[in-house]
Structure 1
């Protein structure tokens, strides 16, 4: 089953999916560009639905303004399935005092949010909300795993073994995908098929992409966001290489909207709908309907499908 904020659904109910995006996000690294407007989030989701979108995975983890209390109502109002995240980002995204609270009993926090319900970011030790997380978000550092990342990966692996949940990895600048996969799979025993490696388009080296696909991981390409614009022009070269090598079944695509300026509804765009109006349209032209259906429908249904233990 796939765990959404409105409950568990069968994989074939998920539909056309934005596999990595943000309806709400607030970081000290993006002061003044917070995604904190519920009306704007609703407008983005409605436009996404109008373009054929049926599901969205919000990768915003604990403590970064994910507005868990808003997600069920947004899902009901727009008809879009929402998969919410537990997890923890890089240390630099948090004020030190907040990070210290979140790191205390980290694996247990992840497990509780996957099995019992999300907590309010302002009250991480409060009562659970009705909505539960459906994935675990973690983050590496640039070309390496720092001490903070290592601790978070260990907690995420423990939560995976307790629940079965998929682990989604922010790769800083798209770097170190094989190192992150080795840590999770070889050292911590997480199956490669339960790992999504994100931001691969930010470091457009097809060799590691192919190796990660051969190992069975899911490959996340999260353009066209403003954070990724420097390598957006390489996106279809990278996708084409994977398709040609027979790895289309491992590819996921998302918009990764991380700032108010990137919204179509209230900023300068391109926003969440662009993933379908432009990127999916080109995937259909370049690769055909079978591959496009794999990337936007079949692969997300497999990537987020979990034999839930809680």
Structure 2
């Protein structure tokens, strides 16, 4: 059955509603010491603000071993009525103290976690793929084949999209419409975006945020180029809050408060980008049952 797997169970895609397609309520990494997203009360307030503006779902891309706090996600979803999709998978090696205990059984770990997680998150490197990325993506492809789960990809600085597709959808034979390429706003190369879009993958743009403000002003130019080229059905938007300092600056509510009306005024496509496209991107014909 084609459903979206949330932390409270499977739902029909049409129930996902207005969706923040890439964000983090909880996240911990040695790469950002002292910037942990680990305050459950603050996360609850952020989701309440988002829900008050009409937000109905959040896809949390925090993968295995980075402080996902699954039990807190369940509590927040129940308290607010907002659907939350969690992730398994792995980020880049720098985000872990050690992976020795799971490195040789990554696919098994991902498959087990996909009984409650709704996507697999993996990461490329800057303008390429190293051994860690290749090993992780091979495990993600195996987990996809066993479960049907979609795969979201952190593109470092918005680069390396072609290498990712060559590996995941070429050699590893993951259907391209099951792949979501993230952070494309960080390299606002519209020719590259159109080329990637022609593959059929979903394209995720983040922000605005303090971290990415240098390219935030190009967001609507990038979206316009893709829409004009006929790729509106592949576009996703998310806030991608990754540190405590960035929470609510401007926060996930900005997507609805500012970006949604601008999208509607400029393109008439707010419902498609915030509702229709996430329903397609994150739904799957699951091969394993939800926990």
Q: CA deviation at 1:178?
A: 1.4
Residue matched to 1:110: 110
Residue matched to 1:21: 23
For each residue in 1:28-54, what CA deviation from the matched residue of structure 2 results, as whole angstroms up to 9, or x when unmatched?
Answer: 111111100000000000001111100
Q: CA deviation at 1:102?
A: 3.1
Q: CA deviation at 1:221?
A: 0.2
Residue matched to 1:221: 205
Q: Distance in 2 between matches of 1:101 and 1:232?
A: 39
2:252 is aligned, of 272, 275, 291, to 272
Residue matched to 1:121: none
Give runs of aligned pairs for residues 1-310 of structure 1, distance below 5 A. 1-96=3-98, 99-115=99-115, 132-264=116-248, 269-288=249-268, 291-310=269-288
Q: CA deviation at 1:3?
A: 0.2
Residue matched to 1:118: none
Q: Distance in 2 between matches of 1:54 and 1:102?
A: 34
Residue matched to 1:128: none
CA RMSD across the alignment:
0.8
RCO comparison, higher one (Cα < 8 Å, 6+): 2
Q: Distance in 2 between matches of 1:3 and 1:184?
A: 22
Report the secondary structure of 1:169's partner residue: strand
Q: Distance in 2 between matches of 1:103 and 1:144?
A: 21
Q: Distance in 2 between matches of 1:42 and 1:252?
A: 23
> Structure 1 residues 255-264 or 99-108, which shifts more?
99-108
For each residue in 1:245-277, what CA deviation from the matched residue of structure 2 results, as whole angstroms up to 9, or x when unmatched?
Answer: 11110000000000111112xxxx111111111
Q: CA deviation at 1:206?
A: 1.1
Q: CA deviation at 1:218?
A: 0.1
Report the secondary structure of 2:285's partner residue: coil
Count matched residues.
286
Q: Distance in 1 between matches of 2:111 and 2:36?
A: 27
Structure 1 runs, 4 residues or longer, greater than 2 Å off? none
Normalised by the length of structure 1, the TM-score is 0.91
Residue matched to 1:123: none
